[in-house]
Amino acid sequence: MNQIIQSEKMKYGMAETEAFLRLSAVLILVLTACLVGFDTQTKYVIFFYRKATFRDFNALLLLVYVVSVAAGYNLFQVGKSSLSACFKPNLKVRTNIYLAWICFLLDQMAVYVTFGANSATFQASLLAVTGQEDFQWIKLCSKYTRFCFQIGGALTCGYAACIAMAFISSISAYNLFRLYSPKQFLQLKTAG
């Protein structure tokens, strides 16, 4: 009896931790999208004004879309978790295992896609800082310094969100693999 109570307390603690991490990830992802999306700088360059925005670089545009979708997904998962905590659905073990696998795979995909988009943006930003003479790409950050610093802050927030989502993914993996028997390979625990 005492072991069941401790197990329930641990499940409740894991759910609270997961909800906190998901809400933190949502806030950081929204901050990343806002920092990139609202970042503009106008400079007077040889007889005309030139405005730098996130739409000038495809990697920045992709980053805004990816972090927005990842924030929406994590917000959806927080809502799903709070609804399931309120209604306590009586699902069979088979349905539970399918839902756990789906959540695990979607969490993994969210982390990897967000990390990939952030890394691609980092690489494009590095070219904007250093330039590439072989391809005749000029250094853009020498002209648009504030724009580049804000993008750097957004990339830092994006990597912080990836770390939070990696922890979420590990909780999701725990929730999935606790349904399997520790003694038999790929056998579900028996109910009871």
Bridge pairing between strands 41-45 and 48-52: antiparallel
The tens digit of pLDDT for each residue in 175-187 reads: 888 777 667 666 6
Given a cut of 90, whether residue 40 has pLDDT beyond it is: no
Q: What is the pTM of this model?
A: 0.82
pLDDT at residue 139 in the model: 65
Task: For residue 163, give the H/E element and its range.
Answer: helix 145-177
Q: Concatenated DSSP letters for 32-58?
A: HHHHHHT--EEEEETTEEEEE-GGGSH
pLDDT-derived band of residue 192, with 50, 70 and 90 as boundaries?
Answer: very low
In the chain, pLDDT over 70 holds for what percent of residues?
76
Angle 137-148-30 (CA atoms, 0-180°, nearest 5)?
A: 125
Q: 5 pLDDT exceeds 60?
A: no
C-alpha–C-alpha distance, residues 177 and 106, integer Å: 15
49 has pLDDT over 70? yes
Residue 154 confidence (pLDDT) above 50: yes
Domain boundaries, the chain: 9-37+52-177
